[in-house]
Structure 1
Amino acid sequence: MINSPDFVHHHLRNSTSGVIIQKGGIVDHRGIYVEMRGGSLEIHEFDFGFSGLVWSSCNGLVLASEFTNDHTHSVVNPVTKQQVFLPPYSSDIGNHGHFALAFVEATMEYKVACMIGIAPLFERTHIAVLTVGVDKVWRYIDIKHLHLETRLASFSVKPIVTGGYVHWISRSFVLTINMENETIRSFLCLDFAQNVE
């Protein structure tokens, strides 16, 4: 899909950043792409050749799932319409939260991360990780050592990707996974609401 280091470098250097906005309706899931060019916003219809829900994007690639089957995920190149389907995970593993696509610069690989929770009360919660185009099965990183509130909050928030890191941010903590070495850190946040007089 994008595997040449030179192509990635030149593509990122010459491309402009933008935002994908997608409607969340069951029937209508069209999207638009908004970018800044020459000091003004340009809005384009977004057709990535796959009728599904956009979870995340990274370096021009889009992580999406079929709208009718949320266990079918793929990474799509909207320009070339190429897509790589990710291996499914068993539904008995649990419910998934939100997916994130990140680029690991050290290995020039793309990885996907997702919070997986198992009822009741998400007693067993883990982060599923997959290297795109390499792995045939998901790896599961156990996070049962984290406080239940942290696990529940992580499951309900959308992750944010910065570089090779995926972050789940809530009011009281930030849970971060380094996608290169797949290590997890949790940071407490100050509760600003309690400090306001």
Structure 2
Amino acid sequence: MAKKKKNKPVMSATMKTTTTMADAIEKLPPYLPTEVIFNILINVPVQALLDAKHVCKQWYDIVSDPLFVKAHCQKSSLGFLIQDSNNYSHVNYIDVNMPIEKTKTTKVENPSEATILCSLNGLALLSDPINEEIFHVVNPMTKEKISLPPLKVYWRSPKSAGLAVNSSGHYKVVHVSVDNYGYSYLEQLQIRIFTIGVDKAWRLIDLQGIPNSSTMYQHILIHPYCCRRYIYWFHYYSSFDLALDVDTETIYQFTGPKNEVNDSRVEVVSMETSIGVIDETSTLLNVWKLTDVKSNKWTEFARINVEPVYKRFSKLFGRRFKDGIYPVGLFDGDFWFYCWVGNSKYVVVRKNLADKRFEFFEIERGTLHPHASTYVSPEKLIDNDRALPG
């Protein structure tokens, strides 16, 4: 009995080309509304988003939308960039979104060995190690970077620079220098600003009659405190403290809460949108917050008992533990600081202000920068037609 020949499948014109996986996924019916996918993805870490945007066109469009970038930024939690003090190319990111005992460390590439100056909304301001006239703005997680125009100034210190964002969502880089034009008797304080995506060159800020003096130069050239809309140059024992409102680009002069502080040991910290002064008396920390820079108003913010921390660390680390705390800042109701445990180790501590709990983790010695892992793209900040994350 002769076998029947199997008929070959007829290939239609629409089947002549090979269908890719991406095409197949795109043709699938949308089982979930875009709004639902949006709300799921804003909780996804940046590293996973880099892959998620390639799943299909719908996901790519969602992740690329400036509204998504802004929402993801607002949902991001605190972490820390830690730059090795002896080798600037070694940078780690510590994610403290999970319980401290499960903290995850991610290596961050820094092949140019640039100095990290500050961080805001997941963007880091870097000082170029070769050309001190150039600053870079980079997202360490997505590895996107932009470089700002060179500064053509004769300055005494190149490191006094900060990053801020105004209420319209425009990011601004601010730089302080004492220009002398080659002559010491011509020294003059200069504050320059560059609005990313708007300015083509650096602009001078009107100092509005703020006097120049050698005493001011000693304090104004220190690295500033960057608190979103404001940038502060503040040294507690100085009477030449300045604040820049990047919304109005107005400079204010203010002083610390000298009448309320015992002066036993004073530290200055960032408090997200403002700065604080910590007066350390034995194991009790009194925290004062600048609530109105225009009227130089300070209010008592918190009292923190760190005696339990000292007792715990004395038992855990013995002689390696050195009394004394080094504040990092106050964020989301938590006070962050670090302690020394030996010559090459820090213990970073999160102390909850609402109760007696505290958590800690041990790290290699380095410079700590509070940092949020976000999807904010420095490259897209130069596109003025798109909504910018604020």
Task: Give the TM-score normalised by structure 2.
Answer: 0.44
With over 3 angstroms needed to count, the CA separation of the structure-2 counterparts of 1:195 and 1:94, relative to structure 1, is closer
What letter is aligned with 2:152? S
Report the more deviating stretch, 107-116 or 170-179.
170-179
Question: Pick from 200, 211, 218: which aligns with 1:146?
Answer: 211
Q: Is the 8 A contact 2:89 2:112 kept in 1?
A: no
Q: 1:77: how far off?
A: 1.9
Cα drift, residue 23 of structure 1: 2.4
| 1:110-132 deviation digits (Å, cap 9, x = unpaired) | 00011111242783011111001
Determine if the alignment matches structure 1 residue 162 to structure 2 residue 227. Answer: yes
Distance, in Å, in 2 between the alignment partners of 1:11 and 1:170 is: 34
Contact 1:114 1:129 in 2 (8 A): yes
Q: Say if 1:50 and 1:83 are closer, same or farther in 2 by CA, change over 3 A.
A: farther
Matches within 5 A, 1:1-12: 5-12=66-73
Aligned to 2:118: 56
Higher helix share: 2
- Structure with max Cα Rg: 2
Deviates more, 1:4-13 or 1:65-74: 4-13
Question: 2:263 & 2:142 partners in 1: Cα distance?
Answer: 50
> What does 1:1-197 correspond to in 2, within 5 Å?
5-25=66-86, 28-40=88-100, 41-47=103-109, 51-92=113-154, 95-104=157-166, 106-119=167-180, 120=184, 123-143=187-207, 145-148=210-213, 149-155=215-221, 157-171=222-236, 172-173=238-239, 174-189=241-256, 190=258, 192=261
Q: Distance in 1 between matches of 2:185 and 2:72?
A: 44
Residues in 1 aligned to 2:223 and 2:186: alpha-carbon distance in whole angstroms: 17
* Equivalent residues of 2:134, 2:150 under 8 A apart: yes
- More deviation in 112-121 or 143-152? 143-152
CA RMSD of aligned residues (A): 2.7
Equivalents in 2 of 1:51, 1:109: separation in Å?
27
Cα distance per residue 1:27-59 (max 9 Å; x no partner) = 543212123132213332222575411111110
Q: 2:186 & 2:120 partners in 1: Cα distance?
A: 29
1:195: how far off?
8.4
Q: Distance in 1 between matches of 2:65 and 2:227?
A: 22
Conserved in 2, the CA contact under 8 Å of 1:175 and 1:187? yes
Given residue 150 of structure 1, which amino acid in structure 2 is its aligned partner?
M
Which blocks of at least 5 consecutive residues in structure 2 are unaligned?
1-63, 266-390
2:5 maps to which residue? Answer: none
**Contact persistence 1:36–1:42 (CA under 8 A):** yes
* Contact 2:88/2:115, CA 8 A, preserved across alignment: no
Partner Cα distance (2:75, 2:177) in 1: 36
Cα distance in 2 between the residues matched to 1:122 and 1:8 = 46
Q: Determine if contact 2:125/2:136 at 8 Å carries over to the other structure.
A: yes
- In structure 1, stretches of 5+ residues that fail to align are none
**In the alignment, is the contact (CA less than 8 A) between 1:125 and 1:142 conserved in 2?**
no
SS of equivalent to 1:37: coil
Return closer, same or farther for 1:85/1:42 CA change in 2, 3 Å cut-off.
same
- Per-residue Cα deviation, 1:119-161 (whole angstroms, up to 9, x for no partner): 4278301111100132111111244623522343111x21111
Letter in 1 for 2:226: V
Higher relative contact order (CA 8 A, sep 6+): 2
TM-score, normalising length: structure 1: 0.82
